[in-house]
Chain A
């Protein structure tokens, strides 16, 4: 067998993708205030320091509120849109779904600024609520994409069977469809949660100065002495994201297995 060029290239490329994540824990446990070689020894003090910062607790609480609400509302809106477009055909379907998916292809800064200008001119005070509004706008297309594929893989005869057996449309939805798309719903919620917790532009411009995780991190970067703390925090966040993603992937696969669809891989 000849030298596997493509495989070597792909492994190197993956290494490039992972560099920042691999370097993060190295310096999070390094006993030095600057991130540079040579390493100075092992310490866990940065973890202790960052997690006793009350500002971080506040930011974490705000982020959880925002990301939790965003995940819930985006997925709810996503279910409605995905169900409507997969089950029915109606006038204006293409332009309406185009509009709903538009945030995926618009520069975020432009959406954030447009939304901000409208909120300000309507006199709506900025708060966590306005951040949630912006995040739901950004996340809904992702939820719609995931849920559309979940609803598409549904076998329509199951639904017809339920109705032939005397169930109404609501009980059919509740008893038959919902359990089958439940894995899709869970993975949509997890993806939206992850996007919202990471979201910076919306959190920065549509809030009234409340710190969220992303804006807290961004704010800390101005102080070089806080760099190791951020690395410790980053290490924890990376672990949490990977755990959430692994869970989402698990539910996605289970959902595909349940509806008997072929695994096409990936979330997007």
Chain B
């Protein structure tokens, strides 16, 4: 099927492919690559009044920075107020730690609780009924995220569904304090990302050759040890995908801290919003955004590395 020789690059297979993908690629370059590059650039520029001054500095990350304003009389930029860089500011650091803590908890809870579900659908459900089970699992995920988060709010608030049921039935005397807690945020997020964890693990489990498991048992391993030594290592690719797919969006979640935390337990996304918009400090906002991406990238790489070690140790 190869094209005749001599018609040059523009009639070749490669050119057709490039030509075909170019609208999508150009769209992604303009709306994703360029904005990300701009954010990176802004994070090392100087913050002005409703503008950004292309003057290189690293204090948006470390140390103390000054916002500048153009002085009409002299035509010079003069410092107006000082602020701490993203890594030096204890408030930003605390929010980053909290986001990391919440998203690691959410990821661990989601993946641990999801694994048995994926295992059940892959190993214990008849093949003809598998897609029905998967469909049932995905339905809640496709209903409005804002409404789902809001429903948790309605359930856990002081006068809400759970408390009114508990107090009404006499199980507790005083309503439980569940709203505006970190735990409530973790439960809400774990609920929201559950299908994201189940599906990749399920796909990995489906690929496992069932005869390997029989071989393990024929060689005298118990079912549990077969699971530990065969099934679990072979399904690790799905677990990795699940971990990354849950961890990455959770760390930047915006709605849950707003609705469940009541704005009292902000996470890093809320800080980025504040700096970029309300505080009009796009240099610092960009530096926080870049730092958040670095943290996400570093944790993901660390996790991939640990997993490689684990799989090697298993051989």
Contacts and interface: CB of A to CB of B under 8 A. Distances in A.
Contacts of A85: 17, 21
Interface residues of B, number: 92
Contacts of B14: 88-91
Interface string B140-181: 101111111011111100011101110010000000000000
A84 B22 CA distance: 9
A41 interface: no
B154 A99 contact: no
A29 interface: no
B131 interface: yes
B223 to A, nearest CB: 12
Given A77-B24, A117-B35, A109 B272 contact: yes
A216 to B, nearest CB: 9
Interface centre among A83, A106, A107, A244 (most CB of B within 10 A): A107
A65 interface: no
A117 B28 contact: no
Given A24-B147, A117-B286, A6 B130 contact: no
Nearest to B149: A20
B191 A77 contact: no
Contacts of B135: 245, 249, 266
A136 B24 CA distance: 10
A105 B293 contact: no
A94 B249 CA distance: 23
A140 B138 contact: no
Interface SS of B by simple majority? helix
Contacts, number: 272
Given A36-B159, A237-B147, A264-B206, A114 B289 contact: yes
Nearest to B121: A10
Given A34-B159, A92-B18, A113-B39, A198 B134 contact: no
Contacts of B254: 108-109, 200-201
A122 to B, nearest CB: 10
Interface string A241-268: 1101100010001000000000111111
Contacts of A91: 14, 18
B199 A217 contact: no
Given A99-B33, A133-B31, A20 B151 contact: yes
Given A21-B140, A96-B25, A84 B20 contact: yes
Interface stretch (A11-19, A47-55, A177-185): A11-19
Given A109-B252, A266-B138, 15 more contacts: A20-B191, A23-B155, A27-B154, A38-B168, A84-B16, A84-B18, A99-B25, A111-B35, A114-B36, A114-B289, A136-B27, A198-B144, A234-B143, A234-B151, A244-B142
Interface of A: 6-7, 9-10, 13-14, 16-21, 23-24, 27, 34-38, 77-78, 80-81, 83-85, 87-93, 96-97, 99-100, 102-111, 113-118, 121, 133-134, 136-137, 140, 144, 160, 194, 197-198, 200-201, 205, 213-214, 217-218, 221, 227, 230-231, 234, 237-238, 241-242, 244-245, 249, 253, 263-268
12 contacts: A16-B191, A21-B143, A80-B24, A96-B25, A99-B25, A107-B269, A114-B38, A137-B27, A137-B32, A200-B145, A234-B144, A245-B139
